């Protein structure tokens, strides 16, 4: 397995927070899981080699999930041939290398062009109270039902509140303030050379003001200032947010990345 793969790094970075049920059912294969998050894409099988994934599935590795992550077209094509009737869901994985954007200092006191009054950066596994407040109100708008908000907070906010430090991952949480209140957040999870940008968002009543774009750039610069050579992220493919990230310098890690949903194909192909 390619230990330097961003997809493998993503699993490592998230084990202290959202993921808590990862195991290896076969050599070169990881069953990724979250006991708290039931949303699409948080319980799946990961392997760098399609043949290993297919063999593991036939041995019963997909007893807890029907999703398999693919990171290139060759892997996807082999899986679809092995499991007729499966379907795919595309995701956008983007990356940026150190030196591709101008440096930005998160100490904004001397920067009159910033949208923020200040930005606080913390390095604990669990974010501060203001960060949690913003994060828990990202989707609290007129289009969100109380049930959806409750589900989001039970899964994601509570996971953040229970985050723990892990040996292979460091973290920096950023909280941006404007008009006397915390309005925007972002997090960088990183090791020596690679980082991932997570949890970018702006409190619902302050959205569409450019806060998310600026705090994303500040978070990326925090990673680069810590010695990271590459920052990557995952977002919904083809959505508005992908265009935002591309506009600030992120480019695609690949054009064919996402999940294969085995669905009912398992019942006819796995013995």
Nearest to 98 by CA among 253, 4, 228, 246: 228
- Position 62 scores a pLDDT of 78
Can you say whether residue 227 is alpha, beta or left, with left for phi > 0 and alpha for psi between -120 and 50 degrees? left
pLDDT of residue 145: 87
Residue entry with tokens 């996402």:
258
Numbered ranges of CATH 3.40.630 in the chain: 99-228
Supply the pLDDT for residue 106: 53
Q: Mean pLDDT in runs of 10 for the chain (271 residues)?
A: 74 94 91 91 94 92 86 96 93 90 56 84 96 92 82 94 92 96 97 95 92 94 92 88 91 93 65 34
Q: CA-CA distances (angstroms) from residue 77 to 45, 74, 166?
A: 16, 5, 35
pTM for this entry: 0.91
179: alpha, beta or left, given left = phi > 0 and alpha = psi -120 to 50? left
Query: Class of 99-228 per CATH?
Result: alpha beta
Q: φ, ψ for residue 95 (rounded to 5)?
A: -145, 160
Enumerate the β-bridge partners of residue 26. 29
């Amino acid at each position: 397995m390619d230990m330097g793969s961003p997809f493998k790094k993503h699993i490592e970075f998230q084990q202290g927070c959202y993921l808590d049920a990862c195991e290896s059912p076969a050599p070169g294969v990881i069953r990724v899981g979250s006991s708290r998050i039931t949303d699409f894409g948080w319980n799946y099988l990961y392997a760098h080699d399609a043949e290993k994934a297919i063999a593991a599935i036939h041995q019963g590795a997909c007893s807890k999930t029907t999703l398999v992550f693919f990171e290139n077209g060759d892997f996807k094509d082999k899986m679809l041939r092995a499991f007729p009737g499966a379907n795919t869901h595309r995701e956008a994985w983007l990356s940026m290398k150190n030196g591709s954007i101008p440096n930005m200092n998160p100490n904004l006191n001397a920067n009159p062009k910033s949208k923020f009054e200040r930005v606080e950066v913390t390095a604990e596994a669990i974010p501060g109270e203001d960060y949690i407040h913003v994060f828990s109100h990202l989707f609290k708008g007129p289009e969100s039902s109380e049930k959806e908000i409750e589900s989001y907070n039970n899964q994601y906010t509570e996971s953040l509140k229970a985050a723990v430090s892990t040996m292979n991952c460091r973290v920096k949480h950023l909280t941006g303030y404007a008009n006397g209140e915390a309005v925007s957040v972002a997090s960088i999870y990183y090791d020596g050379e690679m980082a991932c940008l997570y949890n970018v968002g702006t409190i619902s009543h302050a959205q569409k003001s450019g806060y998310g774009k600026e705090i994303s750039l500040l978070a990326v610069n925090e990673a680069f200032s810590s010695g990271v050579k590459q920052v990557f992220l995952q977002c919904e493919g083809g959505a508005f947010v992908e265009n935002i990230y591309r506009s600030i310098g992120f480019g695609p890690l690949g054009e064919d990345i996402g999940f294969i949903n085995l669905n009912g194909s398992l019942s006819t192909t796995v013995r």
